[in-house]
Each structure stands twice: as structure tokens, then as C-alpha cells.
Amino acid sequence: MTPDDSDPFRAPVQPFRAVLPEAAEWRPVLARRRGATKHKLLTDRIIADIEAGELRPGTRLPTHRHLAHDLGVSVQTVSISYKEAERLGYLKGEVGRGTFVRNRVTERADRFMLDREPGQSSDLSIIRAVYTQAHERASRGVMARLSEADNSAFMRPCRPIAGLDRHRAAAQAWLRKLGVEADLDRILITNGAAHALFLAVAAVVRPGEVVLTESLTDHGIIGLANVYGPETMWSYDVGVKSRFWDDRVQLNIAAYHEEIEHLQVFIQSSTQSGINNVNGITQVNGVELELDAIPIEDLRFNATVNINRSTYGNYLTSDTRFGVPPPGCTLGPLGNLCNFRGHTLNQTPPYTVDLGAQYTFHTEFGTITPRVDSFISGKVQFLPDNFITSQQRPYTLTNLHLTWISNDAHYKAEAFVNNIENADVISNDGLQSITTGQGLLEPDNFAYYPPRTVGFRFGVTY
């Protein structure tokens, strides 16, 4: 069968053309004012007509050239006026389409509510908590009982930085209902939405990058995007990698030098929380050695040694943690003015040594592997002031593991003792807020690595 010309499959394809709304027949009258420029008069007229409802949201304004011709002004005058009205949020320019009156938020909300039946929508913007005198009395009663109870077990211990496991498990279950699978170690409990946004931006944005958002966005995003002043780094390293003794020994030695300009330092105090940029050049110099050896079958040694010196460049900032100027600071009109130049970088100990050894025994019921690991560290600074209260003294952490694996590799059992020394080792330092420090004395809020831990694991592989 041969289709004739009336066959719709033989009809010529028409190119798609977007239909633009007709430009408004808008001819404003510019009332002359002493000292006012023409583009100022036109901008004020645009805003006044939008506010009066003569220019409705979505209206397409005349082109720059047509309006300039009608008003007897230059095209540049119209361009400046349109751009200023756009900056103020009244207009929106779209490449290739024209200039349109922007949908004001209130009008969008009104239309959203009016265009729907009452049962089809919920206006979250008008939700208010019900709080009567009865609620006030109940709240006061709860607070009174809390003040009399012993809450030390709840208030004093430091919480895990990522949040309590049961809270993260609840978040995991909620995400699963939304079709999102996430491991517990990828879930963080934050102190509100602002904290969450800060962490999200910090995780994906590098210094100097551009952050794009919708025209209507959370106001905090703009501030967060400007938090990160760009930092640049030059890194130099030289080294040698070698294998010998029939590949039973691998030895790597490297020396490195880094220069970081405008290093970003996170600070938190009673007066500020965010990122400081070091004014000068921060230097990191060090030597690293890695050794992995199998001297005989089933016996393995590993060692990593790092020696470095890391110091801040010219770092002018304020320090409000103390009522009197801390060492290296002077009391000024805005608080304690400090220069931390030459101080050791946060969490960069002068030396670390990581040692490990294991031996595998082969038996008729599987392999048994005892292993010992020991980590040795020099003094660790947690804040740029390098004050004695914010330091971790040199320490050693030793872990013992004993692992059994069946011959068919289906079963595995492991017994372990971590932190044999039961050492108190600081993992992080977060300064208290003004609710604790009162702007005069801000004690350190340390989080610690787990104490001595004894455990046993058993697993089955199908």
C-alpha cells in the first residue's frame, strides 16, 4: 500500500517555534525631577507601574530599542534602567526572549492559594505553633523538674561528632522510605539547617568556584558561598620508590615542601564562626618514610614515619577566648588582637610513627593471624593560638587483633583489644558557644577517641 499525500506520515515536519507573548503597549510618561537622571526617572516609573498593577507579573516589556525610540532617549538609558530594576527584583531578563516583569513572591503565593481548592493545598507560610497559657505553665513545670533532676550523665559527656548511632539509624530508616539507601557512616546529625547547608557547601565547593542557585533560594546560601576566600598552594616533592630482596621489601622515601597562600582556617568563638584566611604564606615541610617487608613466609612488618614542620604565615585575627590577652596578643578596642605567625598548624604533629607486625599460622581448621599495631604521635595543636589548654600531649596507641579464618573462607572470627594503654587521646576540639563561655572564658570542648575497648566479632560468608 502506497500512502497518498494526505497520509499524516508523509506530512512535512514543521520546525518548532517558541511563541513569545506580545510586548506590552507600555508608554510611560517621565515626570521631570530636578537633579534626577533620565535612567533614574525611567527606573522609578517601572517600579511604580509594577507596584500599581499596571505592569502585571509575566508581562513582556518593549525592547530596549523600541522603548528608547518612543521616549526619545538613548538605548543605553533604557538598558541601565532595565538592569537596575532587575537588580532590585522587579524585572527578569532572559537571553533571546526579552525582559519580563518578575513574579513577586507574594503574588506567586497568592495565586498558589487562590488557584486551588482549600483541600488541595497547605499554606505552610501561615503555620504557627499553638502556645497558650496552659502550654506556658506546662513548659515551666518541665523546666523546674529538669533543674532538680541529675542530668550529669546527659549533659557532661561529649557527643560523637557525627551524632548518636540511634539518631543516625532513625535517619537511615527515614531515608529508606524515600528510596534513598545510605550507610550509617555517611549520615551526619547537624545542629539545624544552617549547619547542614554549611557542611554541604564545604564538602563540594572548592575555593574560588562559582555557586549557582535558583533565583529564589535560602538567604544563608549567599553568605555561605562568600565564606570561602580562595586559597592557592604550590607543592613540591622529591623521593624514591624501591623494591628489593626478591620484592620482599618495599621502601619509599619522600621529602616535600608546600606553600599555601590565604590558608582557610575554621574558627568558632562567641563572636564569630566561619572561615578565616591566613594573610601570609603558610609553609609545610617534611620527610616521609614507608617500609613494607616480608622477611619470611607469613611474617609481615610495616612502618611509616613522618617528620614535619608546619607553621602559619602572617595570621592577624582576634581571640576572644580569654578575658585577658593570651600570649602573643594585645588588648585592642575590638578585643584581643593576635598574630599567630609561626604557630604550628592545627592537627599537624611534628612526628608520627605507625608500626605493625603480623604472622599467619596455618592449621588443619584454618588460619590464625595475630597482629599488633602501634601509633606514636608528637604533640598535637587543635587551635591556632597553640595555647596549653588546647593541646594533646605526645601519646602512643596500641591495638591487638587475633583473626581466625576457616579453610573454606566461609567463617571468620576476630578478637581484639584497642587502645591497650587506655590513653585519653583528643580527636577534635570544638569551642563552646556564648551560652557557656559568656564571651569571657570559652573552655575547650574536646571529643576523645574511644578508651580501651575489648571485643569479639564472628562472620559468615555465603
The dihedral built from the CA positions of residue 44, 49, 50 and 52, taken in this order, carries a sign that is: positive
332 in any annotated domain: yes
> For residue 444, with 0-12 CB atoms within 10 Å meaning exposed, 13-18 middle and 19 or more buried, which class applies?
middle
Question: What is the per-residue pLDDT for 9?
Answer: 37
Q: What is the pLDDT of residue 30?
A: 81
- Per the structure block, which three cell numbers stand in for 336? 584581643
**Residue 321's pLDDT is what?**
61
- What average pLDDT does the segment 328-344 reach? 76
Q: What percent of the chain is predicted at pLDDT more than 70?
A: 74
3-state secondary structure of 79: helix
Cα distance between residue 248 and residue 244, in whole Å = 7
What pTM, to 2 d.p., does this model score? 0.55
Query: Cell triple for residue 384?
Result: 591556632
* 311 and 452 both lie in a single domain: yes
Residue 5 in this model has a pLDDT that exceeds 60: no
Q: What single letter denotes the amino acid at residue 380?
A: V
- Residue 457 pairs in a beta bridge with 414
- Which range is most confident: 124-133, 168-177, 212-221? 168-177
**Alpha-helical regions (H) of 22-93:** 38-51, 64-71, 75-87
Statement: residue 406 has pLDDT above 90:
yes
Nearest by Cα to 383 from 446, 451, 314: 446
pLDDT for position 4? 44
Selection from 137, 162, 271, 277 nearest residue 208 by Cα: 277
- Last residue within a domain, chosen from 86, 107, 128: 107
Asked whether residue 29 carries a pLDDT value surpassing 60, the answer given is: yes
- pLDDT band at 112, cuts 50/70/90? very low
- Overall domain count for the chain: 2
358: closest CA among 452, 290, 294? Answer: 294
Task: Show which of 107, 125, 159 is a domain's final residue.
Answer: 107
Radius of gyration of the chain from its Cα atoms, rounded to whole angstroms? 33
**Cα separation of 183 and 457, whole Å?**
20
Looking at 186-190, 282-286, 314-318, 330-334, which range is the least confident one?
A: 330-334
User: Would 219 be classed as within a structural domain?
Assistant: no
Beta strands 98-101 and 91-94: pairing type?
A: antiparallel
Asked if the structure places residue 63 within a domain, the reply is yes
Asked whether residue 372 carries a pLDDT value surpassing 80, the answer given is yes
Q: Which of 59, 72, 65 is nearest to 23 (CA)?
A: 59
Cβ neighbours, 10 Å, residue 117:
6
Convert the pLDDT of each residue in 56-66 to its tens digit: 888 889 888 88
Distance of CA 224 to the CA centre of its chain: 9
pLDDT over threshold 50, residue 147: yes
Write the burial class of residue 386 (CB in 10 Å: 0-12 exposed, 13-18 middle, 19+ buried).
buried
Q: Is the pLDDT of residue 359 over 70?
A: yes
- Please tell me the predicted confidence (pLDDT) of residue 268: 60
Of 111 and 128, which is predicted with more confidence?
Answer: 128
Query: Are residues 425 and 452 in contact, defined by beta-carbon separation less than 8 angstroms?
Result: no
CATH number at residue 93: 1.10.10.10
CA distance 461 to 406: 11
The grid coordinates listed for 118 are 482549600
User: What pLDDT is attached to residue 149?
Assistant: 76
Claim to verify: residue 95 and residue 243 sit in the same structural domain: no
Tell me what the mean pLDDT of segment 143-162 comes to. 70
109-133 average pLDDT score: 56
HSE-up of 63 (CA within 13 Å, CB side)?
Answer: 8
Question: Among the three residues 107, 137, 159, which one is the final residue of a domain in this structure?
Answer: 107
Distance CA 313, CA 264 (A): 12
How would residue 75 be classed by pLDDT, with cut points 50, 70 and 90?
Answer: confident
What is the residue-averaged pLDDT of the chain? 79
User: Within a domain: residue 33?
Assistant: no
CB atoms inside a 10 Å sphere around CB 201: 16
Give the single-character DSSP code of 62. P
Rounded (10°) angle between helices 38-51 and 75-87: 50
Average pLDDT over residues 16-23: 56
User: Residue 348: which residues within 8 A CB-CB, separation 6 or more?
Assistant: 284, 308, 310, 380, 381
- DSSP 8-state secondary structure symbol assigned to residue 25: -
Report how far residue 327's alpha carbon sits from residue 319's, in angstroms, rounded to the nearest whole number. 11
Which CATH number covers residue 340?
2.40.170.20
Distances (CA, A) of 25 to 21, 48, 401: 12, 16, 82
- Check if the beta carbon of residue 276 is closer than 8 Å to that of residue 317: yes
Report the alpha-carbon angle 373-377-382, nearest 5.
Answer: 130
Q: What is the mean pLDDT of residues 387-411?
A: 92
Residue 342 has pLDDT above 70, yes or no: yes
3-state secondary structure of 111: helix
Spatial separation of the C-alpha atoms in residues 35 and 334, rounded to whole Å: 41
Domain presence at residue 20: no
Residue 337 lies in a domain: yes
Same domain, 233 and 103: no
The verdict on residue 60 lying in a domain is yes
Same domain, 234 and 103: no
Nearest to 195 by CA among 273, 271, 125: 273
Quick: pLDDT tens for 234-247: 999 999 999 999 98
Residue 66 domain-assigned (yes or no)? yes
Strand partners of residue 141: none
Domain that holds residue 251: 229-460
